[in-house]
Structure 1
Amino acid sequence: MASIAGLLQLQGHRVTGSDNAAYPPMSDQLRELGIRIHEPYAESNLDPVPDLVVIGNALSRGNPEVERVLDERIPFTSMAALVREEFLKGRESLVVAGTHGKTTTTSLLSWIYQVAARQVPAREPSFLIGGVAENFGSSFQLRPTRTFIIEGDEYDTAFFDKGPKFLHYFPDGLILTHVEFDHADIYADLEAVKTAFKRLVNLVPRRGVIVAYDGSSNVTECISRAFCRVERYGFKSESEWCIQNLRLEGGLMRWEVWRSGAQWADLEMRLGGEHNALNATAAAALAANQGVSLESIQTALAEFKSVKRRLEVRAEIGGITIIDDFAHHPTAIRETLRALRALYPQGRLWAVLEPRSNTLRRKVLEGELVESLRLADRVVLAGVYQQQRIAEEERLHPEDVVRALSNGGTAAALYPDVNHILDEVVPQLKQGDVVAILSNGGFDGIYEKLPARLQARA
């Protein structure tokens, strides 16, 4: 929603917005743009009455602004529908979808096109990303050129449109990273998730292309009835785009990409983790299919920084490294911790988790969560975010996670809030430790409070 506000402002519209509690990095981006955020929601925020209200999928009936919109018949729409009408019509739509890796892969693809524009200005992309891409310092860009790159979210569109947002984007080219059960608040089971992705695949025209991960039977099922060309990427030798010889050298991740059985490229980037090699290879494959040169792809990956809140180093104090990662699912947590193990092999790895996403707040993937957290040396859990909104029988009980971890030999503890976490954890931290803070929200300011506490201790 912050990104679409920025795009609309670039088109010359006057934009304001509302939220219960905006937090970085998007609140910072809005402030820099001069877009006012009203907090909290209130009917008076709609004065003067706007020409159009864009209603995000976090809002439902009972919200005071939603109620006023309906009572007074103020024109309204969803974010996804507005994107389609205002920005995608008449353009080439390149969509990045999947349970994991969407934001980083969209950022990578956008940067590849930006670098390609140094030689071919018409390559400069418009884009809309669900996070702040550090190379751009923004989550959006609008150019008069043809290509629009967009992160395709499978979450529902709005209270009045329960279909996934990505069905509005009609891709000409599609990257499909992973398909797993997620968003337990809106999808009943894995079959429902797969149905959504199958519908997305069915929107790609015959002239289009799908670049799909080769290591998931769910992905294979979802693309099985595609009408367009499908190219697989991953670690399987028979795939169109095969990753080989992945390694860390001199602080860089390097690997080879073999295309149709022949070596195509040597690639390198500063980000670590097998999952990021997969993300980068997917972006490279789709860009190459659209005619972007290998030289531009190699240069872009070597220059790529990261995305805010994806393995982001927030502070290094007294030899202690604090990492911020947007953890929303056990698989994402697993890949984050695996990457940190490779990047910091000598240090103790702490995982500090706030169960905040609609999936992590539920116990449906409790077993997978425990297995992912076992990759850390020390695990600290906070209480479930807004646990009163989850039925008791569906709710994750962090004490059960802590018990399972402890019984398996992993040191784990549960504390009720951030202040208790800091009181207990800070005295135990020592030089060489890596602290991964895992949350898809503000986590009560721990990203600022932990460095401040360590500075005070030093």
Structure 2
Amino acid sequence: MGKHVYLIGICGTAMASLAGMLKQQGYEVTGSDVAAYPPMSDLLRELGITVHEPYAERNLDRRPDLVIVGNAISRGNVELERVMDERIPFTSMASVLHDEFLVSRQPLVVAGTHGKTTTTSMLAWIFETAAQNNPEFAPSFLIGGVAENFGTSFRVRPTMPFILEGDEYDTAFFDKGPKFLHYFPDSAILTHVEFDHADIYADLEAVKTAFKRFVNLVPRRGRLVAYDASENVTECVAKAFCKVERYGLREDSYWRISDLRHEGTSTRWTLWRAGERFAELTLPLAGEYNALNATAAAALSSGQGVSVEAIAKALATFHSVKRRLEVKAVTEGVTIIDDFAHHPTAIRETLRALRESRPRQRLIAVLEPRSNTLRRNVFEGSLVDSLALADRVVIAGVFKSESIPTAERLDPGHVVQGLLSRGISAAVYQDADAIVAALAPELRSGDVVVILSNGGFGGIYQKLPRAITEAAVATRVAMQFS
């Protein structure tokens, strides 16, 4: 691989992380994107990596030795067209990751429709904690978000464990298979299997086929830790050649959660292994789903030789991931939370966690239909069920709606009507500015606003706190003169 590597679509979570890893290995790294937003734009800036915005042929005037093409890049992109015309060598993120970092290490891969990022972060932190007593456990990792315990989404070390998030999304315009098929795990976690990524998977059967192929990559000597309350997961692991350990809340779970207790923003439970008490665990995060994620991480790390003490210590000191129930601001008594949830199941679990941790506060959900699946109407009914856990719901217009055929496009109005029929206050506003203008004046101290989006959402994270302050000041001034 050449010394100058250029990444088209560098601000994607995995691409930005790979850029940092390559720079850490001594490569000169530059790249481009249509628009950069935190947290990955902050990471690239801190790493001193030049990012060109927007895409332009001139960005490649200084010819790189190799171009890595992000999976969001398709034919017609002006930079990709120049790369192909001039026969500049190009490849995919997943291929470079495998060839440069995984072949000489022990990949431990976390896959599943939901919970990948948080579970990967937990697993990495458990190994990091274990390394305090045994340096051989010190992990390399690649996470689809910024893990707050590390302050980064990646780290590369010479030791064997390499913990990474296995994404089922496609690899590149020239490789439509899932990225995780490039990772060849020694052992793995499978959290959930549900229909998602409607732009690349025709139906649930296609999704299950991808996960079955992933399971088939785990060697006989490896282990597979798999969620036990999903028929889809059961089907996907049925023909595994390795040992399979199921986890969950069922009485017959190999790794069983019992006595689950929610204490404010913390969660406690007893974990059993094969019918014997394994540990009493505490996690400073709310939500049953986070206890399940932590249990999966504990199970896999225990099988790799990590002590019970290190597992318990790591989970008790875990600080979550950026954009996962992240408190962005507390303004005039209003708490504003950012969450990456963009699938009805993830949205439901996020709202459940907030209900459990803040039971007496009014909960307002603000949703941007932005992902390739959520912009489609396949989940209209499920969205109503999930969002009905909030006291008030505000939905933005569909992101880049013109790119989705009308017959396939989500109609936010249908979701709102479904919520109204259940007695839930709900409304649609076209964009972030309209939402801020409508919502800020009605918010009051004690409210919790959770913003659900997998993108920048028009800067709402900065605009809403500012508008709340302005509305409160205006109210106080009006009261002085009334």
TM-score normalised by the chain length of structure 1? 0.99
Q: Classify the secondary structure of the residue corresponding to 1:118.
A: coil
1:98 equivalenced with 2:77 (yes/no) = no
1:388 equivalenced with 2:364 (yes/no) = no
The answer as to whether partners of 1:206 and 1:228 remain within 8 angstroms in 2 is yes
Output one character per residue of 1:342-369: Cα deviation in whole Å (capped at 9) or x when no partner.
0110011000000000110000111111
Output one character per residue of 1:82-105: Cα deviation in whole Å (capped at 9) or x when no partner.
100000012100000000000000
- Distance in 1 between the 2:248 and 2:264 partners? 24
1:58-457 alignment, distance < 5 Å: 58-249=72-263, 251-457=265-471
The answer as to whether partners of 1:356 and 1:439 remain within 8 angstroms in 2 is yes
Aligned-partner residue type, residue 398 of structure 1: P
Output one character per residue of 1:191-223: Cα deviation in whole Å (capped at 9) or x when no partner.
000000000000000000000000100000000
Shift of 1:250: 5.7
Q: Classify the secondary structure of the residue corresponding to 1:15.
A: strand
- Distance in 2 between the 1:138 and 1:358 partners? 26
- Distance in 1 between the 2:58 and 2:264 partners? 56
- Distance in 2 between the 1:156 and 1:167 partners? 10
- Give the 4+ runs in structure 1 shifted more than 3 A: none
Q: Classify the secondary structure of the residue corresponding to 2:28.
A: coil
Q: Classify the secondary structure of the residue corresponding to 1:360.
A: coil
Output one character per residue of 1:272-324: Cα deviation in whole Å (capped at 9) or x when no partner.
10110000000000000000011110110011001000000111122211110
Q: Classify the secondary structure of the residue corresponding to 2:327.
A: strand
Shift of 1:46: 1.4
The answer as to whether partners of 2:398 and 2:410 remain within 8 angstroms in 1 is yes
> What is the match of residue 45 of structure 2?
31
Q: Classify the secondary structure of the residue corresponding to 1:393.
A: helix
Aligned-partner residue type, residue 352 of structure 1: V
User: RMSD of the TM alignment (CA)?
Assistant: 0.7
- Distance in 2 between the 1:407 and 1:324 partners? 27
- Distance in 2 between the 1:61 and 1:360 partners? 24
The answer as to whether partners of 1:215 and 1:234 remain within 8 angstroms in 2 is yes
5+ residue gaps, structure 1: none
Q: Classify the secondary structure of the residue corresponding to 2:446.
A: coil
Percent pairwise identity: 68
Shift of 1:420: 1.2
- Distance in 2 between the 1:419 and 1:74 partners? 42
Shift of 1:251: 4.2
Aligned-partner residue type, residue 320 of structure 1: V
Output one character per residue of 1:117-163: Cα deviation in whole Å (capped at 9) or x when no partner.
10001111000011000000000001110010010000000000000
> What is the match of residue 8 of structure 2?
none
5+ residue gaps, structure 2: 1-14, 473-482
The answer as to whether partners of 1:237 and 1:261 remain within 8 angstroms in 2 is no
TM-score normalised by the chain length of structure 2? 0.94
Aligned-partner residue type, residue 118 of structure 1: Q
